[in-house]
Each structure stands twice: as C-alpha cells, then as structure tokens.
Amino acid sequence: MAENIIITDVGPRDGLQNLPKALSVSERADLIKSLIKAGITSLEIGSFVSPRAVPTMADTDLLFNLLGVNTQVNYFALVPNFKGYQLARSIGIKNVVLVVYASDSMANSNVGMTMEEAKQSAIKITKQAMCDQITTTATISVAFGCPFEGNTNPAVTVDLVDKLSEAGVDRLVLADTIGAANPRQVSSLINCLTERNDPQFLGCHFHDTRAMGLANIYAAVEAGVRYFDTSIAGLGGCPFAPGSSGNVATEDVVMMLEQMGYCTGINLKELMSASKFVAKLTQSKSSGRASAWLNSQFGD
C-alpha cells in the first residue's frame, strides 16, 4: 500500500496575507471550499493577528463561522501570541499554529518580541492548549536562513525543537521562510533531528523563492518527513520577511509525490480547478511550475 503524506494547504493564510488587497470573507471561504473539493483535509485558514499589522487576515473568526463544522477537515489558525490564542479558542478552533523564531531580528520584525519571548509565549500557549484539548503545531520561522542574519546555526533550530518537544507540542514544522535552504542542508538538519524525534513529529514548510522548493521537499521525504505545508498556485510570502516569495505550489508537490508512489488523497484535476480559481480571485498568475503541463493534461 502507498505510504501517506499529509499536505496542509497554507494558501488561505500564508498566501493571502501578502496580497495588496484583502479578499472578502466569502471569497476566502470559496477558495477553501475549492481546496476541500480537491481532497485537501488539512488547511490553514487564517490567523488571529493584529488587523493593523496584517489587514488581509482580519475577520478570520467570521470566516471560520461561515465554513461551519466539517468533521472530515482539520482547520488550523495561526496565533502569534496568547491574545490570538484566546480569540481562536473562543470561537471553537481546534488546531493552532504557533510561531517561534531562530533569529532575534525575525522575531522582532514579525511580532516585536525576542526569540526567547516568542518561545516562552509558545510554551505558555502549548500548556493551555493541552488543557483545552486544542492541538498545537509549532513552526520554527527562519529555521534554515534569515533575511536579516543570514544562515541559521542548526544548533539554534535543534535547541528550539528540543524545548518545544519538551513543552508538548503536537508537531514541529521547520519553515524556510525566505526560501534560503538547499537539499543538503535540509537532509542534514532532519537527520540530526530524527536521531531523537519520531519523523512523524516533524513537518516542513518551504518557500520557492529560488526554485528549490521541490528539491527540498524531496530531501525531506528521503529523510523521513511525511508532513508538508504547501500553497495552492504557489501563493504567498511574509510581509515581514524581505525577499520571500510564495510557498512551493501544492499542485507541484502533489504531482511529484503521487508520481513517486506516495498517497496524498488529493485529486490533481480538481486541484488545478482550485488553482485557476485562486489565480482569478487574486488576479495573479499561478507560480506553480507544473501548472501549464498539468492544465494541458486536464484539457485546459
């Protein structure tokens, strides 16, 4: 039987947060529904952040209510601090994404905290979430390289993994926030982490800034990772990380993994419909590198 790989589409959060103009709540919901129709069962729908800092993510509470209950899908929301956690919990979100940082400059740029403050905040939220039966995914931002401080010392990332694992997070995602990683760096860090962590505990989140997204995913798969954040049509980027482009496109990743014999549970034809829909909604061109070929396969 084919081995499963979980794909979390972060386009509705990481993708849309960077748009110059916010989509309406109903447009955001339609995008999410198109992804669910393609078989995606894990989705980051938005964030509970200051609407002044990230106007495009305002009203994630209304979006969650509009989506309604769907027991087949795990909806995740990013929370940058305890206040965001409380807001997410108050409306019934069951899975939160916490962010910690492998550099002080990135922590400061994103949330006005030091690395240590952001880590302590994530640990506090994790403890509370355990009592509230809410799952926690901790994302290590700039795990491989930082736009302000250059290459990340792997020891810093490993230490963050240790501390968050001790605190009890459910999953740890290594984020290549600006697309600085290369496949050797990815295998080396993951091999080091899997010496003391179950590979199932780890996930990866790669931006495709330098066309290394798929190569990095391949390196991570070979090292045992079975959980990836991707973004439909390659949308995205972080407004606080200069030079970052979108995440590796969901369609590129699904195509590669399925062709390699893994099972993602995602229907590529429906995924391409979702990709075209997103490009129309956001008035942007899909940056998925295989989209032209995939569209021709499905009679574009």
Binding site for Zn ion (CB under 5 A): 14
Identify the CA nearest to 175 among candidates 106, 108, 121, 123: 106
Would you call 117 exposed, middle or buried from its count of C-beta atoms within 10 A (0-12, 13-18, 19+)?
A: middle
The span of 67-75, 108-116, 188-196, 261-269 binding ligand COA (CB under 6 A) equals: 108-116
The one among 112, 150, 168, 242 contacting ligand COA by CB under 6 A: 112
238 binds ligand COA (CB under 6 A): yes
The span of 21-29, 78-86, 180-188, 204-212 binding ligand COA (CB under 6 A) equals: 78-86
CB of 80 to ligand COA, least distance (A): 4
Give residue for tokens 């979100």: 93
Does 238 qualify as catalytic in the annotation? yes
53 binds ligand COA (CB under 6 A): yes
111 binds ligand COA (CB under 6 A): yes
Of the pair 110, 291, the CB lying nearest Zn ion is at: 110
Interatomic CA distance for residues 231 and 209, integer angstroms: 13
The one among 80, 145, 203, 237 contacting ligand COA by CB under 6 A: 80
3-class DSSP assignment, residue 269? helix
DSSP β-bridge partners for residue 227: 6
Give residue for tokens 């990709």: 275
The one among 54, 67, 140, 278 contacting ligand COA by CB under 6 A: 54
CB of 46 to ligand COA, least distance (A): 10
DSSP β-bridge partners for residue 174: 140, 204
Interatomic CA distance for residues 116 and 131, integer angstroms: 23
Interatomic CA distance for residues 45 and 93, integer angstroms: 10
Catalytic positions, written as ranges? 238
Binding site for ligand COA (CB under 6 A): 17, 47-50, 53-54, 78, 80-81, 83-84, 87, 99, 110-112, 238, 240
